[in-house]
Amino acid sequence: MTEPRTSEPVIRMRGATATLGARPVLRGVDLTVHAGEVAALLGANGSGKSTAVRSVIGQVPLTGGTVELFGTPLRRFRRWARVGYVPQRTTAAGGVPATVREVVASGRLSRTRLRPPGRADRAAVERAIGLVGLTDRAADSVNALSGGQHQRVLIARALASEPELLIMDEPMAGVDLASQEILAQTLREQVAAGTTVLLVLHELGPLEPLIDRAVVLRDGCVTHDGPPPEAVGQHALPGHDHVHPHAASEPARTGLLT
Amino acid sequence: MEFLTPPFMQRALVAAVLVGITAPAIGIYLVQRRQALMGDGIGHIAMTGVGLGFLLSTNPVWMATLVAVAGSVVMELIRWYGRTRGDIALAMLFYGGMAGGVMLINLSDTGSNANLTSFLFGSLSTVSEEDVTAIVVLAALVVLVTVGLRRQLFAVSQDEEFARVTGLPVRALNLLVAVTAAVTVTVAMRVVGLLLVSALMVVPVAAAQQISKSFRATFVLAVVIGTAVTLAGTVTSYYQDVPPGATIVLLAIAAFVALTALATPLARRRARAREEDPGQCTLEVPAARPAGDDVRV
């Protein structure tokens, strides 16, 4: 870790309000993430967690409140290389074939901007691909990858700029178990190196041990901000995947067959 | 090589090569953004420019460039602000441009239906010295943008939301793609015609990506295919007296079909090389239920 942990917040959101169409999605959200912290935004679908994280990086305009990144108001923030962003996607592919390396390299543009990439930039791209375990697939088309590998490409793209803050929107959605483990490992290494992380999650899942703080949103308001809530009942079981508790709690044969 | 002798053919071939390079070079970004038909819309709008050119007795290529660029800027603005009603607004723009062009050409003294047809479907014999100069200048601009900014344009066209978070000037780059596409339309107009311009932006790219794995290879191959079909089509239309635009587009589609046929076994072989055969399922599936199981519900 090169930088000492300071109390300077990396993200500071105050009284944020936002609407989608006429519907209020954020109704006064406060969110502060300090350097080196791993914070998870949790909540049901429609709770506003994705909107909150997207307004942090200026993708959704706020109707009220303020956002600061690294102490700079969002409007004047320019040092985007410090931020790695993983949007909510099911695919890393576009309308034209592209290799893993080509997609990941586009994450380096926050440092290179309009100049051509140098040796250090290429090395950073290779390193990012290595971090997610795709070195042997670097020259392959992303079209040939599985869903979990797509997600790993998106994360490598965010890591290519060697960011201090990693913002991920549902990085575990649709990811197979093997890739989940690799993603958790990648994240663990980033956290150990001092990267600040803000995650949007549907459930804590395999990333739970990494998370310092959970912020739970409900109907556009923060309802919990503190240690991750204890998972209870069926939700605590590994591999739990939105199955209605009653459906899973009953062994298949009893009750049907005697 | 007799086709190289007449001066009009020399001009036509220069124009054809430049069209073959520039149309796929910008088209690849449109395909990547899944806006393959944008070129078609710009072609429609450019008609008004051609009509204005006739009416004001200036060079229609320059006039079409001006109007197409203005139209493409409006299209980008509609894309930003008119999320829900966007496609209706675009339709107005396209058909308004087309109708305006036809009306203006009919109003002018020099314009005729033959003239109109030559702009709609391309015509080799009418490519003038002036046109060639305009085409060379515009093509140089297109190549400069599409090759010089390939990394930035790739990022913006691949994932616009992500590109914004890298701090790239996404709006400016989107605008640049739109304007470059408009310029390309007018470059290609004389050879393939306004109605078929879009095909040359899209079909070579679609053909190339049947066998390519990377963006770079797709780009190079699309330009090679584009140049090959425009040259072959131009020469064919010299000997056979067939319309050049239609010939070029049909050749491009033939290239697409040929590469697709070639790609299917290639993809299968690649997939086989990658996956080590996991063999058949070996899990013993138990019999559904012992025969004597007494089921009562």
List the single residue in A98, A102, A109 with the smallest CB-CB distance to B166.
A109
Q: pLDDT of A114-147, one tens digit each?
A: 899 999 999 999 999 999 999 999 999 999 998 8
Question: What gap in Å lies between CA A10 and CA A32, rounded to an integer?
Answer: 8
Structure token pair of residue A132: 């997610």
pLDDT at B54: 87
Q: Which of B162, B171, B225 to mutate to test the interface with A (most CBs of A within 10 A)?
A: B162
pLDDT at B35 over 70: yes
Q: pLDDT of B106-146, one tens digit each?
A: 888 776 777 788 888 888 878 889 889 989 999 999 999 99
Average pLDDT of span A149-168: 95
Least confident segment among A153-162, A223-232, A238-247, B12-21:
A238-247
| Nearest one of A163, A237, A162, A175 to A201, comparing CA atoms | A175
List the single residue in B34, B215, B270 with the smallest CB-CB distance to A97.
B215
Contact B215 A98 (CB under 8 A): yes
Question: What gap in Å lies between CA B137 and CA B181, rounded to an integer?
Answer: 15
Q: pLDDT of A196-244, one tens digit each?
A: 999 999 878 888 889 999 999 999 999 999 888 765 544 544 544 444 4
Cβ contacts of A95 on chain B, cutoff 8 Å: 31-34, 36, 157
**Count of other CB atoms within 10 angstroms of residue B80:** 11
pLDDT at A246: 42
pLDDT at B53 over 60: yes
Q: Does residue A86 contact residue A37 with C-beta atoms inside 8 Å?
A: no
- Which CA distances in Å does A119 have to A83, A157, B8? 21, 17, 49
Contact A102 B215 (CB under 8 A): yes
pLDDT at B83: 64
Confidence of residue B225 (pLDDT cuts 50, 70, 90): very high
| More reliable by pLDDT, B25 or B90 | B25
- DSSP, residue by residue, B83-144: TTTHHHHHHHHHHHHHHHHHHHHHHSSS--HHHHHHHHH--STT--HHHHHHHHHHHHHHHH
Helix (H, G, I), strand (E, B) or coil at B1: coil
What ranges in chain B are assigned the alpha helix state H? 7-32, 38-55, 60-81, 86-107, 113-121, 129-148, 150-158, 160-165, 170-192, 197-208, 215-240, 244-274
Q: Does residue B146 contact residue B153 with C-beta atoms inside 8 Å?
A: yes
Sheet of A221-226: strand order equals: A83-86, A165-169, A196-201, A38-42, A213-218, A221-226
Contact A98 B154 (CB under 8 A): yes
pLDDT at B283: 59
pLDDT at A7 over 70: no
Helix (H, G, I), strand (E, B) or coil at B290: coil
Q: Does residue B234 contact residue B62 with C-beta atoms inside 8 Å?
A: no
Average pLDDT of span B200-212: 95
Rounded percentage of chain A residues whose pLDDT exceeds 90: 65
**Count of other CB atoms within 10 angstroms of residue A119:** 7
Confidence of residue A249 (pLDDT cuts 50, 70, 90): very low
Q: Does residue A158 contact residue A151 with C-beta atoms inside 8 Å?
A: no
Most confident of B94-98, B119-123, B277-281: B94-98
Q: pLDDT of A177-195, one tens digit each?
A: 888 888 899 999 999 999 9
B interface with A, Cβ–Cβ < 8 A, is 28, 31-34, 36, 149, 151-152, 154-155, 157-159, 161-168, 205, 209, 212-218, 270-271, 274, 293, 295-297
Structure token pair of residue B59: 């060079």
Contact A161 B155 (CB under 8 A): no
Question: What gap in Å lies between CA A227 and CA A211, rounded to an integer?
Answer: 8
Q: pLDDT of B169-190, one tens digit each?
A: 999 999 999 999 999 998 888 8
Question: Sign (positive/negative) of CA torsion B220, B221, B226, B228?
Answer: positive
- CA neighbours closer than 13 Å in the CB half-sphere of residue A108: 23
Tokens 């994932």 belong to B159
Average pLDDT of span B60-85: 86
Average pLDDT of span A66-75: 94
pLDDT at B287 over 60: no
Cβ contacts of B274 on chain A, cutoff 8 Å: 140, 144
Question: What gap in Å lies between CA A248 and CA B34, rounded to an integer?
Answer: 42
- What's the pTM value of the predicted model, to 2 decimals? 0.87
List the single residue in A57, A80, A96 with the smallest CB-CB distance to B215.
A96
Question: What gap in Å lies between CA B263 and CA B111, rounded to an integer?
Answer: 46
Question: Sign (positive/negative) of CA torsion B57, B58, B61, B67?
Answer: negative
Rounded percentage of chain B residues whose pLDDT exceeds 70: 89
CATH superfamily of this structure's domain B2-273: ABC transporter involved in vitamin B12 uptake, BtuC (1.10.3470.10)
Structure token pair of residue A91: 């695919």
